[in-house]
Amino acid sequence: MIVKMRRTATDNEIAAVETMLQDRGYTTGKLVGTDHTLIGVYGDVSQLSQPDVQKMSGVEGLIAISRKYKRAAQKGDPTNRLYVDFNIGSVRIGRDLVVVAGPCSVESERQIMESAEMVKDAGAQILRGGVHKYRSSPYSGWEGIGAGSDDALREGLESIVKAGRAFDMPVAVEILDHAAIPLYEDVGVDCLQIGEPNSRNTVLLNALRNSDLPVIHKRGNAVDCEDYLLWVERMMTCGKENIVLCERGIGSANKYTRNTLDLGTVAAFHYQLTGLPVAVDASHGCGIRDLVHPLTVASVFAGASVLLLEAHPNPLIAKSDGFQALFPEQLANLVQAAQQAHKLRQDVEHLYVPSRVLESDYESRVETDRERLFAE
Ligand code: PEP
Ligand code: MN
């Protein structure tokens, strides 16, 4: 259950509701939105007297939640959906469109510095780059500049952080091992990415509960969208909220594209299931450079507010995933197209009518309509 506080509720009123619930044995979690504060109530709420809560000062109403992923679930109702927003470094996530771009992997100091310049010039806001890479073959010969040792990992992380700082951009870097979280924090990485292979890594997700760093959590390519939200929920159980969902393609019957970008799920996340910001990574979603542009633009209309894009100063010599990396000119054009698409989506958003708004009217007409339409 969620307690929705009034827009005008004071800090004392909010604290009083939390204390009352905790005194009765419930765990609470607070979500401070732009307009309203919401208090999640965890435990057997069938034992809770709802009028006792309802009559407390500052309480606007109670919202029943039946989803298993209570913290990740969409709050509010279909006509008033509530979304979380938070920062990655200085960049606000969950409102305006944010583009996270860069090479698949950090390959040298010079390469990541030039990549940062490319990303900045293109108009993207956050620099990405992997330092220790997952490779499906042990013979690929390249596992990232930081793969060899702890020192190499630190140096690789330092070089992307330095490149980000040089162009005034936060950096997002994939983390493979929970033991490395303090190192990433210490070096100044601004956002941790959980890659597809770690989407269901219990140890890593549990450890991330205790990190203040925002996380981009990629959906596993064989994970149902609501099961995935339960994995996301795992990080949220102690109150963490700064998580970006990420659709990056799932397995399917299709062989032409590397994965199948599941835009239906992107829409379901944004319009129905969760209040967390949704990212789409069309680069891994299709694995074909020339399809990244149209799929990314489509993602914006499906509900994405964060875009992950692989790009390289010269993709033809990239050490990993060069085939799906954009040329710098393509990145710049795509950032522009995506921003225009996002503006258009906002302009037409008021035309989206959730069925809930219309249902009761149509329900009251069922009998008369049945008679009119079928009585012959
Ligand atoms: C990546 O972002 O470079 C990456 C390897 O992605 P994924 O984990 O989605 O395959
Ligand atoms: Mn990649």
- The C-alpha atoms of residue 282 and residue 135 are separated, in whole angstroms, by 19
One pLDDT digit (tens) per residue for the chain, 376 residues: 899 999 999 999 999 999 999 999 998 988 887 778 999 898 778 788 888 999 999 999 888 777 889 999 998 888 889 999 999 999 999 999 999 999 999 999 999 999 999 999 999 999 999 999 999 899 988 999 999 999 999 999 999 999 999 999 999 999 999 999 999 999 999 999 999 999 999 999 999 999 999 999 999 999 999 999 999 999 999 999 999 999 999 999 999 999 999 999 999 999 999 999 999 999 999 999 999 999 999 999 999 999 999 999 999 999 999 999 999 999 999 999 999 999 999 999 999 999 989 988 998 998 999 999 998 8
User: For the chain, which residues make up each domain, given as ranges?
Assistant: 2-63, 86-350
The sign of the dihedral angle between the CA atoms of 15, 16, 21, 22 is positive
Q: At what angle do helices 328-348 and 289-302 cross, to 10 degrees?
A: 20
DSSP state of 327: P
Tell me, yes or no, if the two domains 2-63 and 86-350 fold the same way. Answer: no
DSSP secondary structure letters along 328-347: HHHHHHHHHHHHHHHHHHHH
Q: Are 321 and 134 in contact (CB under 8 A)?
A: no
Q: Whose CA is nearest to atom 9 of ligand 1?
A: 196
Determine if ligand 1 sits within 6 Å of the CB of residue 319: no
CATH superfamily of 86-350: Aldolase class I (3.20.20.70)
Q: Are 156 and 145 in contact (CB under 8 A)?
A: yes
From atom 1 of ligand 1, which residue's Cα is the shortest distance away?
104
Cβ–Cβ contacts within 10 Å for residue 130, how many?
A: 28
Which residue in the block uniquely carries the two structure tokens 């996270």?
Answer: 100
**Which residue intervals of 66-149 are DSSP H helices?**
109-122
Of ligand 1's atoms, which has the minimum distance to the CA of residue 194?
8
Task: State in Å: Cα 333 to ligand 1 middle.
Answer: 23
140 DSSP 8-state letter: S
Protein residue with least CA distance to atom 4, ligand 1: 195
State which ligand 1 atom lies nearest to the alpha carbon of 321.
Answer: 3
User: What is d(CA 323, CA 318) in angstroms, rounded to the nearest whole number?
Assistant: 8
Q: Could you give the CA distance from residue 297 to residue 7 in angstroms, rounded to a whole number?
A: 35
Just give the CATH number of 2-63: 3.30.70.1140
Helices (H), the chain: 11-23, 50-54, 109-122, 150-166, 181-187, 202-208, 225-236, 263-268, 282-286, 289-302, 328-348, 355-364, 366-374
Compute, in angstroms, the gap from residue 321 CA to the centroid of ligand 2: 5
What are 133's two structure tokens?
A: 């890479």
- Ligand 1 contact, 128 CB (< 6 A): no
